[in-house]
Amino acid sequence: MAPLSSAQILSGLERILGPQGVLTGEAGDLEPYLTDQRRLYHGRALAVARPRSVAEVTELLAFCNAQHISVVPQGGNTGYCGGATPDESGRQILVSLSRLNRIRQVDPLNYSLVAEAGCVLARIQRAADEALRFFPLSLGSEGTCQLGGNLSTNAGGIHVLRYGMMRDLVLGLEVALADGRLLSSLGTLRKDNTGYDVKSLFLGAEGTLGIITAASLKLFPKLRAFATAFSAVAEPGAAVALLARVREASGDRVSSFELIPRIAVDLTTRHIPGVRDPLDARHPWYVLCELTSSRAADPLEDLLEQSLAGALEEKLVLDAAVARNERDRAAFWKLRETIPEAQRLDGGSLKHDICVPVAAIADFIERGARWVADNVPEGRLVAYGHVGDGNLHFNLNQAPGADRAAFLGREGPVKRAIHDLVADFGGSFSAEHGIGRLKVEELERYAAPVELDLMRALKHALDPNGILNPGKVLRPA
């Protein structure tokens, strides 16, 4: 079969999607789609396809599969691993799901919501809230990232401790397969043990096994009571001990527990307008802890204050500020959520999204920090994140006065040392951001051979022509 010319491919796309559904770059309109959010990759694409219906997605895939044309799905393009960026060939079709963005159903009695892949996460949260329900996935990028991207990266964020990751919030999926068939499994059942859990294959698959078009999601009771504290601790071990204590004392109402180092307070207060240090004195580490409940009258503030008072007495906590109103609470969260932006504004950074058992966090940070101090004089450690899940963003920022290119040039050996240390702890080199293009080699290094064989077999079974996001997660066969 002779390959189609570019003009033939474009006319095939226009036939399926209509002229409005295909961008070709003549007006420079492809640019925002071609660079990943961390600016690690810049790709090219023959066209951006913008389907508006599920039928358009399946037809598009049937066409691309028959013609052996690669497709790269893209949601909000906020991913951290270059998964949504096309390669440099200029032959791939980028499939933007942004126009497939209806909320199909909100069912408060069933505690479920059905939405299409292109829905922005914040819109799903709002729709749940309007129905007096709560959708727990929450990320710094929630105003931009889309459901399809959240599902395909199995996103984590700040509520995993209580509600789990994206995978845990899914009841059903609708997926367009490589050959154009539709897997329609959008049920909202809580129990369904009928054979293999096929839908789970697509969660965290980063667009390499199918294009997700919609999902049915779990909802929870709307949250009506909050207690939030910003506490100083001497070292990460104290944070972990505090978490265990507050979980017990509060009847397990902790929904977020984030570790923040002093350097992150310095970076955010310096670079982000309106961010202030909530405490008077400087301390080495902080914890942002939030308790929540669906009962407005739950005495969460009392529970939190009692726990903190005991911890202060025992010097487990050195100082603490409790949010007295929604403004305080928003200010604490702003400090936490803008750490990535402050890091970016401060210069080059090397990022490691790692996970170790919660109980091993302190030991890991101590060994990792020592290695960084001894081996990377041009970098400074900025280790923060979802400590309640054992997930740290063990990042390094360029030290003041260091040469950006020289610092970024250390990426390979730094990554190797940190990920090897993570492996020593039985941890994960990718806790919540996925593999994309960035971590293909890491997966090959750290995954068990049997696991890699199974992944390759699944990829071949579901995408025999290798058209779905090739080169992401797995090296092309």
Contact yes or no for 175/213 (Cβ under 8 A): yes
Q: How far is the CB of 139 from ligand FAD (least distance, A)?
A: 4
Which residue, 12 or 148, is less far from ligand FAD as judged by CB? 148
Supply 263's token pair: 């350097």
- The entry of ligand 2HG, ligand FAD, none that residue 76 binds, CB within 5 to 8 Å by partner kind: ligand FAD
- The entry of ligand FAD, ligand 2HG, none that residue 216 binds, CB within 5 to 8 Å by partner kind: none
Q: Is 395 in the site for ligand 2HG (CB under 6 A)?
A: yes
- The entry of ligand FAD, ligand 2HG, none that residue 395 binds, CB within 5 to 8 Å by partner kind: ligand 2HG
Segment contacting ligand FAD (CB under 6 A): 2-10, 150-158, 186-194, 267-275?
150-158
Among 70, 92, 112, 150, binds ligand FAD (CB under 6 A): 150
Most distant CA atoms of the chain, gap in Å: 77
Supply 273's token pair: 């307008």
Q: Determine the length of the chain.
A: 477
Residue whose beta carbon is closest to ligand FAD: 149
Binding mask 196-215 for ligand FAD (x = CB under 6 A): ----------xx---xx---
Among 58, 74, 395, 398, binds ligand FAD (CB under 6 A): 74
Q: How far is the CB of 348 from ligand 2HG (least distance, A)?
A: 13
Quick count: other Cβ atoms within 10 Å of Cβ 235? 12
Q: How far is the CB of 340 from ligand 2HG (least distance, A)?
A: 3
Residue 217 backbone phi and psi in degrees, to 5: -120, 155
Q: Measured between alpha carbons, how far is 448 from 435 in angstroms, rounded to an integer?
A: 15
Contact yes or no for 84/77 (Cβ under 8 A): yes
3-state percent breakdown (helix, strand, coil) of the chain, nearest 5:
40, 20, 40
Q: How far is the CB of 257 from ligand 2HG (least distance, A)?
A: 13
Q: Measured between alpha carbons, how far is 250 from 222 in angstroms, rounded to an integer?
A: 19
Q: Measured between alpha carbons, how far is 165 from 137 in angstroms, rounded to an integer?
A: 7
Q: Is 162 in the site for ligand FAD (CB under 6 A)?
A: no
Q: Measured between alpha carbons, how far is 158 from 228 in angstroms, rounded to an integer?
A: 13
- Tell me which residues in 325-344 interact with ligand 2HG (CB under 6 A): 339-340
Q: Is 140 in the site for ligand 2HG (CB under 6 A)?
A: yes
Contact yes or no for 429/442 (Cβ under 8 A): yes
Q: Is 117 in the site for ligand FAD (CB under 6 A)?
A: yes
What residue has token string 């490589």?
178
Q: What is the DSSP string of 5-37?
A: PHHHHHHHHHHHH-GGGEE-STTSTTHHHHB-T
Sign of the dihedral through C-alpha 398, 399, 400, 402: negative
Q: Is 76 in the site for ligand FAD (CB under 6 A)?
A: yes
Quick count: other Cβ atoms within 10 Å of Cβ 324? 10
Q: Is 216 in the site for ligand FAD (CB under 6 A)?
A: no
Q: How far is the CB of 395 from ligand 2HG (least distance, A)?
A: 5
Which residue, 140 or 180, is less far from ligand 2HG as judged by CB? 140
Supply 362's token pair: 């302190």
Which residue, 36 or 298, is less far from ligand FAD as judged by CB? 36
Among 349, 355, 469, 470, binds ligand FAD (CB under 6 A): 469
Binding mask 57-86 for ligand 2HG (x = CB under 6 A): ------------------------------
Q: Under the rule (CB under 6 A), what is the footprint of ligand 2HG?
A: 140, 339-340, 351, 385, 393, 395
